[in-house]
Amino acid sequence: MDVKYDPIIFSQIEALDLEQFIIGTYLMKAKTSDLLMRAGAVAVEQTTGTWMPVPDETPEVRRNHVGRIIGVYLVPGYEAVLPEGEHTCIIRIAFPWKNIGQQLPQLLSTVFGNISMTNNLKLLELEFPKSFTAGFKGPKFGIEGLRQLLGIEKRPPIMAMIKPCTGIPVDVIKRQFRKLVLAGVDIVKDDELIADPAHAPLEERIKACMEVVEEVYQETGKRVLYFPNITDRQDRMLEKAKRAIELGAEGLMLNVHASGYGSLGALAEDPELNVPLLAHPCFAGAMYLGESTGMSSHLVHGKFMRLEGADIVVYNSAYGKVPSVRERYVRIAQTLQSPFHHLKPTFPSPCAGIHPGIIPTMMKDLGNDMVIGAGAGMHAHPMGLEAGVKALKQAAEAAMNNIPLEEYAKEHIELKEAIDLWGIYDPSKTIFELTS
Amino acid sequence: MDVKYDPIIFSQIEALDLEQFIIGTYLMKAKTSDLLMRAGAVAVEQTTGTWMPVPDETPEVRRNHVGRIIGVYLVPGYEAVLPEGEHTCIIRIAFPWKNIGQQLPQLLSTVFGNISMTNNLKLLELEFPKSFTAGFKGPKFGIEGLRQLLGIEKRPPIMAMIKPCTGIPVDVIKRQFRKLVLAGVDIVKDDELIADPAHAPLEERIKACMEVVEEVYQETGKRVLYFPNITDRQDRMLEKAKRAIELGAEGLMLNVHASGYGSLGALAEDPELNVPLLAHPCFAGAMYLGESTGMSSHLVHGKFMRLEGADIVVYNSAYGKVPSVRERYVRIAQTLQSPFHHLKPTFPSPCAGIHPGIIPTMMKDLGNDMVIGAGAGMHAHPMGLEAGVKALKQAAEAAMNNIPLEEYAKEHIELKEAIDLWGIYDPSKTIFELTS
């Protein structure tokens, strides 16, 4: 009997050896009443098939390589009558990962390749088996390793950004860098807007900042990690990474999303580049902000960054200047921190508009294993930069000891000045209530 | 007098040396009634500023490096009263390109970096001065160079894809490749879903296909261009490119969007890799399908690909299986074909569901300088592959000679069989009418 629905494509998860498959979950909108066939077309398009049968797509090829529909769920969950019009559903497809190999660019080409252009399809989730993940080394340091490098046992490390974003020459950068380091920050990163401009070339910046790192280390015994931004065309980026290490850099930063998936991984898996990596989120919004296009933010900022070996992932907090659904910002952090086969956990660093008044709320959401990243919320403190760093640390101390900020501020003038200026974020309206 | 609107940021295009600026045009939606300040915030965020003034953002830094608002246009064009609620407007920002340097990843980090995550902002256009574009070599061959390589003066070259997309071993690929070459195609590309899987490794594929290229060249004097897909993590991709050339490959294909901007450019600007490059569009939809997020498709498939040095850009036709607004598909081709400083023109290749019945409509839209790419529309011809290629060529001949397909089909059985099966695309409903 010739059935309409190919029994290989329309499968059950229980029929599959899950080590052989990557499972993608999609949000799909469609007007057709045959949502099963529509889902099947997606699975076939991204594996063996095209719009007409072709001679070399033998039954054996299909059996071994085609994508499997393992779930189609209508939202709302109509059972008796399907109304006319557009339907929203969740579909789950299992892709044989041997089609892909253990690499991100080809993974994306397969799980969200041509179908990325079909509209009304958003990639919500990817689930990776151990066998696929084994091809990725992940973070070289991870949360534990980076804590050891920094000599910080429990509290969130404090990360500064050089500000303004672009336009200042190397001597001003060096002066500001020294101030930041002496003010007590643990990490300094370049702004994402400075890569290798003529007014502040990368090599000169690294030389200048590493001189300061050494000086301060000699003077105080404290060693700050500097992450220079090596973003460039991929061949030059790889050269710059090696050159940065020669010049003494002890960390590297990349605008990963503008550079492409696989670019950070190339750094992470190079044994010569034995330094932690920081992933910056700029340009990522182009890929995740569509409501029924693109991919979920916890894939973009979370799973892909961890597979690629980021030790710190900067992204936008739900409480700052760049809007973000709170559930998304928390889920990104969870994706970075919680177990993921053999991959070490990665520090989330929700940034953009962070100031001391937000810290306790963020630490309640994410725990201590986050990097507190602040730009203006440190530089623009009314008592100056050093006070700005102190106020952030004081806010973290208050949170770790469960002391309300207002109370801790009574004994800590820097914190008091900060919350007088910027206020205290009030989470009461947004906090999750089991009974609500 | 201290004015609210910084007179450096709120500028006129006439005040600028246009060689120093890249101009971005954005679609912005906002609820605020102060759309000027909202636009200004975007310009500042992506250049010198952050959410609070910081000490080192001196007037000199701002004067030299800040983005300039050169246009804010309400749509509709309210003049007397601005209604309450959300407003749509077009904003134009001039970015000093010396902040960026001549590279794509940092360009994207600047013109669509953190602001990509702000929602309700779509990048519609980028205008590049000659001075910036001078840092890019663009296509090595371009339309003219590729025509010379192929020995094709005027007609559109015919490009085949190996089908099914994935799952067939090298011996089957080789057999199919030989059939395609003997059938008379000019170019054969890998499918985007095959990169370097265990069942058909890249090196073996190249060896097998290049053997066929040589054999057929000896036998017939016709030389076909084969574009193997070298997509991989960036460091491996660069190695694979060199290895492919050693093995005799005379073209290279990359899933550019899944690999990142700058990855194709790394190939194009490597003097050792003196072969044409083919850019595949898979994953691109993640970046352009949002209606008020992401970027325009003619940037993604057009300007960026040309800057990156693509000789052929594959993307989805408006008449095939992947939906696309007709104006967009045509504009992408125009962006690739028409003058762009010193950069050579690039062949557009609108694909996905192409068959002979669509060819005259596409050639009326784009002219002869396009590559006709077909998969199933060639392989699944009822008389076989050779007839499939002939039918596509016959359709192009008919179009070049302004003969209706039905008429040309009377004398050409392959074309007749194709249009009997797949029909003739009727453009009458969508053609542009000046009076309508």
> What are the pLDDT digits (tens) for A60-78?
888 888 999 999 998 988 8
Q: Is residue B55 part of a domain?
A: yes
Distance of residue A435 Cα from the nearest chain B Cα, in angstroms:
31
Burial of A71 (0-12, 13-18, 19+ CB in 10 A): middle
The one-character DSSP state at B283 is T
Name the E strands within B213-276: 225-227, 252-255
Mean per-residue pLDDT, A201-230: 95
Q: What pLDDT does A425 receive?
A: 86
* Contacts for B196 with CB less than 8 Å, ≥ 6 apart: A101, A106, B202, B232, B240
Q: What pLDDT does B255 receive?
A: 97
Q: Does residue A103 surpass a pLDDT of 60? A: yes
**Residue, of A371 and A376, whose pLDDT is higher:** A371
Q: What pLDDT does B368 receive?
A: 95
Q: Is residue B78 part of a domain?
A: yes
If you measure CA to CA, which chain B residue comes closest to A261? B259
**Are A260 and B258 a contacting pair at CB < 8 A?**
yes
Q: Does residue A433 surpass a pLDDT of 60? A: no
**CA Rg value for chain A:** 24
Burial of B165 (0-12, 13-18, 19+ CB in 10 A): buried
SS3 (DSSP) at B181 = helix
Which is nearest to B156 in space by CA: B370, B436, B366, B426? B370
Q: Are residues B298 and B399 in the same domain?
A: yes
Q: Contacts of residue B51 in chain A, CB cutoff 8 Å?
A: 321, 353, 376
Cα–Cα dist B271/B245, whole Å: 12
Measured between CB atoms, does B290 come within 8 Å of chain A? yes
Cβ(B260)–Cβ(B104) below 8 Å: no
What number of C-beta contacts closer than 8 Å exist between A and B?
A: 369
Residue A164: asked if its preceding bond is cis (omega within 30°), the reply is yes
SS3 (DSSP) at A218 = helix
Residues 58-97 of A with CB under 8 A from B: 61-62, 64-66
Q: Are residues B248 and B273 in the same domain?
A: yes
Which is nearest to A286 in space by CA: A265, A306, A307, A256? A256
Which band of pLDDT confidence, cut at 50, 70 and 90, is reported for residue A136?
A: very high
Which residue among A118, A164, A287 sits closest to B49, beta carbon to beta carbon? A164
Cβ(B303)–Cβ(B252) below 8 Å: no
Q: Contacts of residue B9 in chain A, CB cutoff 8 Å?
A: none
Which of B166, B230, B358 is the best residue to mutate to test the A interface, defined by the most A CB atoms within 10 Å of its own CB?
B166
Looking at chain A, the whole-number percentage of residues with pLDDT higher than 70 is 96
SS3 (DSSP) at A369 = coil
Cα–Cα dist A329/A365, whole Å: 9
Cα–Cα dist A351/A345, whole Å: 19
> What are the pLDDT digits (tens) for B236-283?
999 999 999 999 999 999 999 999 999 999 999 999 999 999 999 999
Phi, psi of A404 (to 5 degrees): -60, 145
Q: Are residues A122 and A190 in the same domain?
A: no
Q: Are residues B96 and B152 in the same domain?
A: no
The one-character DSSP state at A345 is P
- CA atoms B180, B181, B185, B188: torsion sign: positive
Total of domains in chain B: 2
**Are A259 and B261 a contacting pair at CB < 8 A?**
yes
Cβ(A243)–Cβ(A203) below 8 Å: yes
Q: Which helix (H) or strand (E) holds B305?
A: helix B304-307
Q: What pLDDT does A432 receive?
A: 42
Range of the domain at B173: 142-424
Q: Contacts of residue A66 in chain B, CB cutoff 8 Å?
A: 167
Q: Is residue B302 part of a domain?
A: yes
Q: Is residue B202 part of a domain?
A: yes
Q: Contacts of residue A166 in chain B, CB cutoff 8 Å?
A: 47-48, 65, 99
Which of A6, A111, A117 is the best residue to mutate to test the B interface, defined by the most B CB atoms within 10 Å of its own CB?
A117
Cβ(B195)–Cβ(A106) below 8 Å: yes
Q: Among B133, B153, B175, where does a domain finish? A: B133
Q: Are residues A237 and A349 in the same domain?
A: yes
Measured between CB atoms, does A417 come within 8 Å of chain B? no
What does the DSSP assignment read for B186-228? Answer: SEEE--TT-SS-TTS-HHHHHHHHHHHHHHHHHHHS---EEE-
Residues 198-257 of B with CB under 8 A from A: 198-199, 231-238, 255
Q: Among A78, A104, A133, where does a domain finish? A: A133
Count of alpha carbons within 13 angstroms of residue B277, beta-carbon side: 28
Cβ(B159)–Cβ(B373) below 8 Å: yes
Cα–Cα dist B107/A232, whole Å: 10
Cβ(A77)–Cβ(A95) below 8 Å: no
Q: Is residue B179 part of a domain?
A: yes
Cα–Cα dist A414/A424, whole Å: 14
CATH number at A396 reads 3.20.20.110
Q: Are residues A228 and A205 in the same domain?
A: yes
| Torsion of the alpha carbons at B212, B213, B215 and B220, rounded to the nearest 10 | 130
Q: What pLDDT does A429 receive?
A: 54
Q: Does residue A187 surpass a pLDDT of 70? A: yes
Q: Which helix (H) or strand (E) holds B71?
A: strand B68-75
CATH number at B96 reads 3.30.70.150
Cα–Cα dist A183/A391, whole Å: 11
Q: What pLDDT does B434 receive?
A: 44
Q: Are residues B123 and B161 in the same domain?
A: no
Q: What is the average pLDDT score of chain A?
A: 91
Cα–Cα dist A193/B17, whole Å: 22
Q: Are residues B318 and B393 in the same domain?
A: yes
Q: What pLDDT does B50 receive?
A: 63
Q: What pLDDT does B428 receive?
A: 61
Q: What pLDDT does B49 receive?
A: 75
Mean per-residue pLDDT, A258-265: 95
Residue B164: asked if its preceding bond is cis (omega within 30°), the reply is yes
Q: Is residue A8 part of a domain?
A: no
Q: What pLDDT does A11 receive?
A: 87
Q: Is residue B313 part of a domain?
A: yes
Which residue among A65, A192, A377 sits closest to B113, beta carbon to beta carbon? A192
Cα–Cα dist B338/B399, whole Å: 21
Q: What pLDDT does B163 receive?
A: 84
Distance of residue B80 Cα from the nearest chain A Cα, in angstroms:
31
> What are the pLDDT digits (tens) for A167-186?
889 999 999 999 999 999 99
Per mean pLDDT, which range of A67-81, A194-208, A358-372, B328-342 is the poorest? A67-81
Which residue, chain included where needed, has tokens 């690499």?
A103
List chain B pLDDT tens, one digit each, 436 residues.
567 788 888 888 988 999 999 999 999 999 877 888 889 989 988 888 766 677 788 888 888 889 999 999 989 888 888 888 999 999 999 999 999 999 999 999 999 999 999 889 999 999 999 999 999 999 999 999 999 999 999 999 999 998 888 888 999 999 999 999 999 999 999 999 999 999 999 999 999 999 999 999 999 998 999 999 999 999 999 999 999 999 999 999 999 999 999 999 999 999 999 999 999 999 999 999 999 999 999 999 999 999 999 999 999 998 877 778 889 999 999 999 999 999 999 999 999 889 999 999 999 999 999 999 998 889 889 999 999 999 999 999 999 999 999 999 999 999 999 999 999 987 665 444 443 3
**Are B195 and A101 a contacting pair at CB < 8 A?**
yes
Q: Among A69, A98, A133, where does a domain finish? A: A133
Residues in chain B: 436
Active-site annotation holds for B280: yes
Which amino acids of A are annotated catalytic? 163, 280
Count of alpha carbons within 13 angstroms of residue A363, beta-carbon side: 29
For A85, left (φ over 0), alpha (ψ -120 to 50), or beta? left
Mean per-residue pLDDT, A23-50: 87
Q: Is residue A434 part of a domain?
A: no
**Are B286 and A283 a contacting pair at CB < 8 A?**
no
Q: What pLDDT does B433 receive?
A: 40
Which residue among A53, A113, A235 sits closest to B283, beta carbon to beta carbon? A113
Cα–Cα dist A403/A218, whole Å: 36
Q: Are residues A94 and A217 in the same domain?
A: no
Q: Are residues B158 and B94 in the same domain?
A: no
ipTM: 0.87
Q: Could you give the maximum distance between any two Cα atoms of chain A, in Å?
A: 83
Cα–Cα dist B274/B277, whole Å: 9
Phi, psi of B130 (to 5 degrees): -55, -40
Q: Are residues A77 and A26 in the same domain?
A: yes
Which residue among A99, A105, A166 sits closest to B197, beta carbon to beta carbon? A99
Residue A161 sits at the vertex; the CA angle it makes with A156 and A167, to the nearest 5 degrees, is 175
Which residue among B163, B167, B238 sits closest to A64, beta carbon to beta carbon? B167
Q: Contacts of residue A379 in chain B, CB cutoff 8 Å?
A: 52, 54-56
Q: Are residues A77 and A186 in the same domain?
A: no
**Residue, of A428 and A60, whose pLDDT is higher:** A60
Q: Does residue A427 surpass a pLDDT of 70? A: no
Q: What pLDDT does B141 receive?
A: 98
Distance of residue A421 Cα from the nearest chain B Cα, in angstroms:
11
